[in-house]
Structure 1
Amino acid sequence: MSGRRRATLFEDLPEEIVVDQILSRLPSKDVGHCRAVSPSWRSATSALEFMLEHHRRQPSLPIINGHRQPASYVVLRDTGAVASSQELWPFFPGSSNHFENANVICASCDGFVIVRRGPRLYICNPVTRSHALLPLPFSGQGFMNIVIGFYRHHPTKDYRVLLISESQKCSKYSLHNLTVGSDESRHVPIRMPADSSPSVERKLLKGLRNSSHCPPPVQHRGSLHWCPLGATNITEGGGEIIVFDTEAESFRWMRSPTKRCYNGELFNMKGTLAFWGNLTPDFTAINVWVMQDYEAEIWALEYRIDVSMLETSRKLYLTSLKKKRKKKTPLHSAVQWFDDVAVLNDRELLIKFNGKHVLRCDIDGKFLGIVNLGTCQYLMSLTQHRFQESIVPIPCHEMQEEDEESLFSTGHV
């Protein structure tokens, strides 16, 4: 070859390099395309070990609710200088806009989401566009089943859904655990500290039932953590945070970083438990604490972000596209108060302000930009749900491919 070394062809590479170093780094959609290239690639990318490794490499991204104006639930992707959004299946314009038939996200875990449609609950994989109906402990008129947790049970590797069933006729509550792939749910007796009473147990279930309107629990060290509104009335002074040990299936209480808080939520930051709260009634500043010592329940103040940091920069713009040319329009009002906080990545936070807008801010309080859905900004909420792409099939369920007749695309039950 005239003294030159022959160029290395893709086919010459060892299979482990092709699979482990190339295919496992591709976006989920491209992995699907590669499965059509050859039988060996299809076999390699269909192995559970490959699918789990591919999932591990995907970023964990926040889910934003656009309240169908114009989008429903979208995944916000960090693309450097800007953030882009991608509509999350099955929440797209083809879905029904009627409230009783609308798809509503209840929980998310490892690339799976729990979707409520009317009284029914489904587990869905948005990447593979597959879904399966979940069996409910009680069904029919007079009963409600509320998802309060969705997690992976590490000893068994099963995915489990924690539900509260409510009899609306007599206002009775019961706790149930459903293993994804099983045909029925299992009743979970309430186990709490020794000084608990039946009235406290009822308050606990009622409080967790109401937590369905609050952020989802944070899973950390094998436990689920909630901080519902009015938690002190539930725990009777035991703490402001409710903790459920997913292995022992028992409850306990935990102290929050501060009792003097007008608004606050738990969230996950860099793999640990974090808490944000407004310490003033005007909501003009937020403090962010991170759990420093879990066993001793010691929190450390990590950041403080207030409106004055942003007031020094008046370059707050809504961006729209008209005739393929960018046009910047100033906001009608400056930042007045903060409503919610979520994590975008290791260096950036998402902050909802003035009841409807979301901005990007680094951990030093520097303003980085306004979040847009599509080409414009709309009313939106931070759900605290996160999505990490997965091509793993729904456990123990035959995958159902999305088609024109599916209730998730047509809006028909």
Structure 2
Amino acid sequence: PHYSRTSSQPAAMAEAATAAATPLLPGLLDDVFIWEILVRLDPKSLLRCRAVRRAWRRATSTRRFLLAHHARQPAFPIADGDQLVLGVHLHDILAFDLRAAAKAHLHTVARLDQDFYLEASCDGLLVLSTFAKGGSGCCISICNPVTREHASLAGPPWDFTAFGMYLHRPTGEYRLLLQRGSNRDSPEEQIDCYVFPLGSDQPPRYIGWPDMESVVFNLPIQLRDNLHWYPYYHLSESEQLQSEGKPVIVFDTVAESFRQMHAPIVPTKSYLFEMDDTIGIYCNDGDKNTVSIWVLQNYESEVWDLKYRIRLPVEEIRGQFEGCNDYRDVNLWDVDVVSGDGGVLLLVSFGRWVLHIDTDGKLIDSFYSGLLGLRIYECRLKQSLVQHAFFPALEGYVVNASPFI
């Protein structure tokens, strides 16, 4: 028999009405299930839930939900390192989960088929760089480790380097902060700075340079719509340990301008880190046996407090690892400070090992990473499933393909 198009409409409408009336999870209000349960899941668990029922996928795919889900995610310290598997070089990007309930502290969030340098982290997105073929300039790319999206900036290898990424709230654009050297008006090299909106077909826009001598920027710490750096200078090792009152460099991401913030008198080689709703500065003494930590108590008045001075359990560490393959690297350890569980922890890394040390100087945990050249960064990764319109506009945009493995 022949059925007209109009005769099928009531059936379709009835099916849609039935689906709308069916709860996402029997016995629980949809709002409670979505906004109290699903929104709290980690990205991997949420993706599994999406595969269970089509209605769950619809409910968790809206931009409103994805933004709320991202806001609920913890911000993990980031690390990276390399390994060889059956002769194949792999580059791992990792997150430290320092919560007490975590079964495994170190999670691989992305495995890549080539070496990258981490340049910035913003809203679940990572800015990566690698040397261009032939060694001329560098190639800058953006990736989302959760959605496995990756794209490069268009054009030939730049003489630019990226040293920040931010959401420009007045326009809603994600923008890169770029730098390159210049000999403009001075015998000393100046730093020229540019802004580049992701997805734009225009060249980077020149915005001037910070009022400072030539410096090296670590990864920025973002707070209150500002990017912060404690830069270090091209100095000898002895000069880096001298205490000076160098300022924190601040970039206002709304006005897109630089200013300076008062900092405590610390060795030139010191580092910023993110701590809850404020920032801290830490430094080591000459033999790396003592770590001093300052915390910014008042952002507006730029008041700092020496919060901790931690003596590392040097003899305990040497005694515990004597005889292991990485013992020769014990004296070459790096110390990083991260916030967790309302306080701070020290991460001491050497060889392929990472140690956790508390503010009393007690060794509380250690684990074997299995990675070569492990680097721990002061910035954080807050994972996100949010889709961004700029990605398809970038060169070589791929999903779930190389460089991801």
What's the TM-score, normalizing by structure 2?
0.75
Relative to structure 1, the CA distance from residue 113 to residue 330 in structure 2 (aligned partners, 3 Å threshold; closer, same or farther) is closer
Partner of 1:37: 52
Pairwise mapping of residues 100-249 of structure 1 onto structure 2 (< 5 A)? 102-117=115-130, 118=132, 119-135=138-154, 139-140=156-157, 143-166=158-181, 174-190=192-208, 203=213, 206-207=214-215, 210-211=216-217, 215-230=218-233, 239-249=246-256
Q: Secondary structure at the residue paired with 1:263? A: coil
Amino acid at match of 1:349: L
- The one-character-per-residue Cα deviations of 1:362-382 (angstroms, maximum 9, x if unpaired) are 233321112321xx4754221
How far the C-alpha of 1:183 sits from its partner, in A, is 2.6
* Alignment CA distance shift 1:227-1:262 (3 Å): closer
Per the TM alignment, residue 16 of structure 1 is displaced from its structure 2 partner at its CA by: 0.8
Q: Is the 8 A contact 2:351 2:372 kept in 1?
A: no
Secondary structure (helix, strand or coil) at the match of 1:49 reads helix
Q: Does 1:342 align with 2:360?
A: no
Q: Give the structure with the larger strand fraction.
A: 2
Structure 1 position 83, deviation (Å): 4.2
1:223 and 1:161 mapped to 2: Cα distance?
13
* Runs (5+) with no aligned partner, structure 2: 1-22, 85-89, 133-137
Provide the C-alpha distance between the structure 1 equivalents of 2:349 and 2:34, rounded to a whole number of angstroms: 44
Q: Report the 3-state secondary structure (helix = DSSP H, G, I; strand = E; otherwise coil) of the residue aligned with 1:10.
A: coil
Distance 1:334 1:247, change over 3 A: closer
The SS at the match of 1:36 is helix
Q: Structure 1's 402 and 313: CA in aligned 2 closer, same or farther, altered over 3 A?
A: closer
Per-residue deviation, 1:242: 1.6
Going from structure 1 to structure 2, the CA distance change for 1:255 and 1:294 (only over 3 Å counts) comes to same
Shift in alpha-carbon separation, 1:218–1:252, aligned structure 2, 3 A: same
Q: Is residue 270 from structure 1 mapped to residue 276 from structure 2 by the alignment? A: yes
Q: What is the aligned counterpart of 2:108 among 74, 77, 87?
A: 87
Query: Cα gap change, 1:58/1:268 in structure 2, threshold over 3 Å: closer, same or farther?
Result: same
CA distance in 1, matches of 2:43, 2:79: 21
Q: Report which stretch shifted further, 350-359 or 384-393.
A: 350-359
Q: CA offset at residue 176 of structure 1?
A: 1.4
Say if 2:67 is the partner of 1:72.
Answer: no
State the partner residue of 1:407: 402
Secondary structure of the 1:384 match is strand
Q: Deviations over 1:117-171 (max 9, x none)?
A: 43332211111111233346xx45xx41200111222344432210114579x98
AA aligned to 1:105 is: L
Answer yes or no: is the 8 Å Cα contact 1:132–1:397 preserved in 2: yes
Which residue identity is paired with 1:217?
P
Provide the C-alpha distance between the structure 2 equivalents of 1:407 and 1:166, rounded to a whole number of angstroms: 32
User: Which residue does the alignment assign to 1:287?
Assistant: 292
Q: Is the contact made by 2:177 and 2:195 (CA closer than 8 Å) also made in structure 1?
A: yes
Shift of 1:111: 0.8
Q: Does 1:389 align with 2:395?
A: no
- 2:362 aligned to which of 366, 369, 379: 366
Partners of 1:348 and 1:238 in 2: CA distance: 24
Larger Rg: 2
In structure 1, distance between residues paired with 2:24 and 2:300: 55
Question: SS of the residue aligned with 1:283?
Answer: coil
Q: CA deviation at 1:246?
A: 1.7
Answer yes or no: is the 8 Å Cα contact 2:221–2:378 preserved in 1: no
Pair 1:160–1:231, CA change in 2 (3 A) = farther
1:316 to 315, 320, 340: 320
Q: In the superposition, relative to structure 1, how do residues 67 and 34 fare at CA in structure 2: closer, same or farther (>3 Å)?
A: closer
For the residues of structure 2 that align with 1:331 and 1:114, how far apart are their CA atoms? 31
Mapped partners of 2:121, 2:296: distance in 1 = 23
What is the distance in 2 between the residues matched to 1:353 and 1:36?
39
- The whole-number CA distance in structure 2 between the counterparts of 1:188 and 1:334 is 44
Q: How many residues align?
A: 356
Q: Percent identity?
A: 31
- Residue 5 of structure 1 corresponds to none
Aligned amino acid, residue 297 of structure 1: E
Q: Which runs of 5 or more residues in structure 1 are unaligned?
A: 1-7, 97-101, 319-327
Q: Specify the SS of the correspondent of 1:407.
A: coil
Change in 2 beyond 3 A, CA 1:112/1:353: closer
Shift of 1:231: 8.6
What is the identity, as a one-letter code, of the residue corresponding to 1:122? S
Deviations 1:43-94 (A, max 9, x none): 21111111111112211111112244675322222363764322232x34xx
